[in-house]
A = this chain, B = another copy of it.
């Protein structure tokens, strides 16, 4: 299927069929895709936690606002974390990246206030989120990105110390009756000319 068809057919799944499980090879593939995600200067300021354990999912479901049922009924919750310890991040890039990339970081990012450095990390994590949602669409896996969770409680449950939860994605297979499927509820987007300009 062409990429544009995938984008037309993917949607934010509201109801999962809890009896349908994602094959473990597919989960592994999604993990490898995230590992390969690009980021500015290859900074990779992130960690991705795949939660399939039902006790942990239950705990997460209780700190997920309106998303409780999606967390319970989907197969796996993928928690997108940004690295939260800047010293650790800097050690990591010194060890892993070429001099030019570290130089870019030192000149353009490091001098900024801590909050702006973390905001730069956050953007990279969302880039990986876009790659991940594309991968799910291509692999026929349904997904629900969820900002409406309690990140600090996710961090506690996941024993996150050097990282911080930004957003989570429920993945699994839709309930066949899900009302939000595009053939039942057409996708709504801003008009083409409002978001696209050509020069």
Interface of A toward B, CB cutoff 8 Å: 2-4, 7-8, 10, 12, 29, 31-38, 40, 42, 44, 46-53, 56, 92, 96, 104, 108, 119, 122-135, 138-139, 145, 147-148, 158, 166, 187-190, 192, 194-199
Contacts and interface: CB of A to CB of B under 8 A. Distances in A.
B56 A3 contact: no
Given A38-B12, A38-B145, A197-B47, A3 B192 contact: no
22 contacts: A3-B134, A7-B37, A8-B36, A10-B38, A35-B190, A36-B189, A42-B189, A44-B189, A46-B195, A47-B194, A47-B195, A47-B196, A48-B197, A50-B196, A50-B197, A50-B198, A51-B198, A119-B122, A122-B122, A127-B133, A130-B133, A131-B133
A140 to B, nearest CB: 11
Contacts of A31: 192, 196, 198
A108 B150 CA distance: 12
A194 to B, nearest CB: 8
Contacts of A4: 29, 32-33, 36, 135
Nearest to A193: B35
B145 A40 contact: yes
